[in-house]
């Protein structure tokens, strides 16, 4: 099935493996279209109004704080990470904000590269070779829509510091992948524009990943559109590998690869048996989903693409049976903690969620049941049956 086709997302065919108490009914939206006698025009009007309100909330969550023009006030503004949080060993940033749109894997690219200096609390110019040539595990944070350069780096640094505080210092290199997602124009038009830009970013990220050593562990922490960029990059790498292009092999690579998706703005049938990104699971050892079935922005994800009209994975979840047995899989619904808003800072402020995200990203999984009520039984059984790999902890 191509990416432009709709499948596996019919509201008339609920997946029995999912519990309604854990996820929303599979790929079903609680909108006006469930009310008898509601006209199609009224449905579209109400959907558009609520979607604009939801995107406004998104913008409020990702907007930078005042006085951060040079990104120096990062550490003093991290209310969810006190000064006692250890400073991460290595935090880098790669920016494609000045790169043009493309429709294929580039032979070369020249993104901006910076490295965070903890002593001066500044981002200093650096060389891409410092990232590509590294041997320690690489954790790539890919943000969502409506981030300016400073807010992207600020939240990437905060993620690294929070995880260092929860999991202890890690011998890992953290990379903030900064792409052009700053607000531009009307809300719906802007959302559709950034949705299309994700496909360009998939080529740039694939170009970068194609230079990494095959045995190097890599973790993708994709928030919202960051998950779509990640899957596009992996899909592009598989295509390039099949075409015999000189890229590092990613199918069944020896280095461990993890996908840690938070509120992923990806179509809900992405990993279905005939889904558009099914083959990317050949590159993955561990898949961790943190969804929010109450997220108002993701609820109207289907409006971004005029042709597919598919709901978001981050809003509906997916059945466990779609994941191959050799891939460690876990999922949790953050609706009780995050509520209806859409913003990565909401996840960063929750110790419960960060224990899970950091455990999947920088170390072994931590127990979530100590601070929050446990998820429904089907979700607990899924996590118990699929223990996470331990190879990461050995490095």
Given a contact cutoff of 8 angstroms between Cβ atoms, the answer to whether 188 and 51 are in contact is yes
- Specify the pLDDT at position 377: 33
- Specify the pLDDT at position 174: 96
- Specify the pLDDT at position 387: 42
The CATH fold assigned to 32-64+77-394 is Rossmann fold (3.40.50)
How many Cα atoms occupy the beta-carbon half-sphere of 25 within 13 Å?
Answer: 10
- Specify the pLDDT at position 69: 35
- Specify the pLDDT at position 301: 94
- Residue partners of 385: CB distance under 8 A and separation at least 6: none
List beta partners, residue 90: 173
Largest CA distance in the chain: 64
Q: Element (H or E) spanning 93, and its range?
A: strand 90-95
Nearest Cα neighbor of 170 from 210, 217, 214, 119 is 217
pLDDT < 50 stretches in the chain: 1-70, 73-83, 365-395
d(CA 6, CA 2): 9
Domain residue ranges in the chain: 32-64+77-394
- For residue 30, how far is the Cα from the chain centroid? 24
């Amino acid at each position: 099935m191509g990416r432009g086709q709709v499948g596996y997302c019919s509201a008339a065919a609920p997946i029995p493996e999912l519990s309604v108490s854990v996820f929303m009914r599979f790929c079903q939206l609680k909108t006006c279209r469930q009310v008898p006698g509601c006209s199609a025009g009224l449905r579209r009007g109400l959907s558009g109004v609520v979607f604009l309100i939801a995107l406004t909330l998104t913008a409020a969550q990702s907007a930078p704080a005042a006085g951060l023009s040079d990104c120096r006030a990062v550490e003093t503004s991290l209310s969810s990470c006190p000064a006692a949080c250890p400073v991460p060993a290595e935090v880098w940033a790669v920016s494609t904000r000045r790169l043009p749109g493309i429709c294929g894997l580039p032979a070369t690219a020249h993104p901006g590269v910076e490295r965070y200096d903890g002593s001066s609390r500044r981002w200093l110019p650096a060389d891409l070779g410092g990232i590509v040539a590294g041997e320690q595990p690489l954790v790539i944070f890919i943000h969502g829509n409506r981030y300016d350069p400073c807010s992207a780096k600020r939240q990437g640094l905060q993620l690294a510091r929070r995880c260092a505080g929860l999991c202890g210092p890690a011998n890992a290199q953290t990379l903030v992948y900064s792409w052009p997602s700053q607000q531009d124009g009307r809300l719906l038009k802007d959302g559709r524009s950034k949705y299309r830009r994700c496909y360009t970013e998939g080529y740039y990220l694939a170009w970068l990943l194609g230079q990494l050593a095959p045995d190097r562990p890599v973790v993708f922490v994709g928030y919202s559109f960051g998950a779509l960029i990640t899957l596009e990059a992996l899909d592009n790498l598989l295509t390039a590998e099949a075409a015999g292009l000189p890229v590092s092999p990613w199918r069944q690579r020896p280095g461990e690869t993890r996908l840690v998706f938070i509120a992923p703005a990806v179509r809900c049938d992405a990993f279905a048996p005939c889904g558009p990104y099914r083959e990317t699971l050949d590159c993955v050892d561990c898949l961790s989903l943190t969804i929010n079935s109450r997220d108002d922005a993701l609820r109207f994800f289907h409006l971004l693409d005029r042709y597919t009209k598919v709901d978001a994975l981050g809003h509906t979840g997916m059945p466990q049976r779609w994941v191959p047995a050799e891939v460690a899989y876990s999922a949790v619904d953050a609706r009780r903690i995050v509520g209806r808003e859409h913003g990565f800072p909401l996840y960063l402020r929750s110790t419960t969620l960060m224990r899970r995200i950091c455990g999947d990203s920088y170390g072994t999984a931590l127990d979530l049941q100590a601070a929050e009520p446990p998820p429904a039984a089907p979700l607990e059984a899924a996590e118990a049956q699929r223990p996470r790999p331990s190879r990461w902890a050995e490095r």
